[in-house]
Structure 1
């Protein structure tokens, strides 16, 4: 009986040890699964954060690239518009020669250019430079406009044509006027008048060619 009791006790201890071992294994596996899940979740969050960051970087790069492309396209449009305006002005300059060839228009235009130059200078002595072929026309215009100027400003004026220095041959027409010492100049050539007109009318020219600018709040 004592031997059976010992065997029974040993079987009980062994069973209790096995149960304890199974409990330890189960607890260890549970802790392992919890730690594994925590590590997996941590790494998953890191991976998600990494790719979210990459996605934001890519999106930012796309925005920058799109902005650069839009700016390049805008610059190309502006350059194309400027080229069109330059081409139009060049064509207008080429047509200026026809004005000087028109005997019905050119003398009247010359009167206006010379008289305006007198008013701009308001000097008692004026020297005029013109094209060599326009000397007689300019001389006649001077004689017509001196009385007009005197009557308007109540001032005498002495005008001479510079016979030693003529306007460059490539100038289409018009005159240059200087005061007595040559320090003040009024350029009333056809080219200079065209440039001045183009500068003053550039807003209207742009609207006529390309329409109103929706971003422009003020017209002057």
Structure 2
């Protein structure tokens, strides 16, 4: 006995209902899967962005710290240079004060003659040449000429030499604003000895500078720590 139209219709309806149910489940499964993948991707993106933000602010923090250290170092260096300049200015002021005192001293004729003859003699001893030219201030020209024989006599007594010629340059004079002293030349100007008051003061100051700085400013602990 065949199925009636009603039975066929019921079976078809049942099959349609089953297909619809399966389709709905598939849709639900796909939606759930899509939502899961979306949440995973969203979580990944959020995590990725969080890492980027953390890295960005870490980098910023390091840059700020580096800038702070650089600024601190610059300020420390500026302060140190300022202190060094102030100390150097003070030392140079002492040197200038000493120069002025020596200038006053050379105005004492008796003392200046004693200083000048010793400067001439010392210069001759240093050069140890037979032909020497001396330059001096124009105001000292006559005085230097008068002192040369005494200086030559000292030189001859010390080195037992008779042949020595000393000429005072009457065309090229030292600057009038110098405190005094002379310059000696030999071998056509190839050899020079500067025995001006300023040159001797500079030499003495150079040798005494470490002691002067120590007495004025104390021992440099930084230099000690480097040994």
TM-score bucket (shorter structure): 0.7 to 0.9
Alignment coverage as a number of residue pairs: 218
Matched-pair contact (CA < 8 Å) for 1:176–1:186: yes
Matched-pair contact (CA < 8 Å) for 1:127–1:180: no
Match among 158, 165, 173 for residue 165 of structure 2: 158
Q: What is the DSSP-based 3-state SS (H/G/I as helix, E as strand, rest coil) of the residue aligned with 2:61?
A: helix
Pairs within 5 Å for 1:124-163:
124-156=130-162, 157-163=164-170
Q: Give the RMSD, CA atoms, in angstroms.
A: 3.7
Rounded to whole Å, the distance in 2 between the matches of 1:168 and 1:22 is 108
Match status 1:74 vs 2:103: no
Rounded to whole Å, the distance in 1 between the matches of 2:37 and 2:174 is 102
Match among 98, 103, 106 for residue 109 of structure 2: 103
**Any gaps of 5 or more consecutive residues in structure 1?**
1-17
Match among 208, 211, 223 for residue 204 of structure 1: 211
Distance apart, 1:49 and its partner CA: 2.2
TM-score (norm 1): 0.74
For 2:57, the equivalent position in structure 1 comes to 51
Which runs of at least 4 in structure 1 moved beyond 4 Å after TM superposition?
18-39
**Any gaps of 5 or more consecutive residues in structure 2?**
1-23
TM-score (norm 2): 0.72
Rounded to whole Å, the distance in 2 between the matches of 1:34 and 1:180 is 95
Rounded to whole Å, the distance in 1 between the matches of 2:42 and 2:178 is 90
Rounded to whole Å, the distance in 1 between the matches of 2:193 and 2:28 is 111
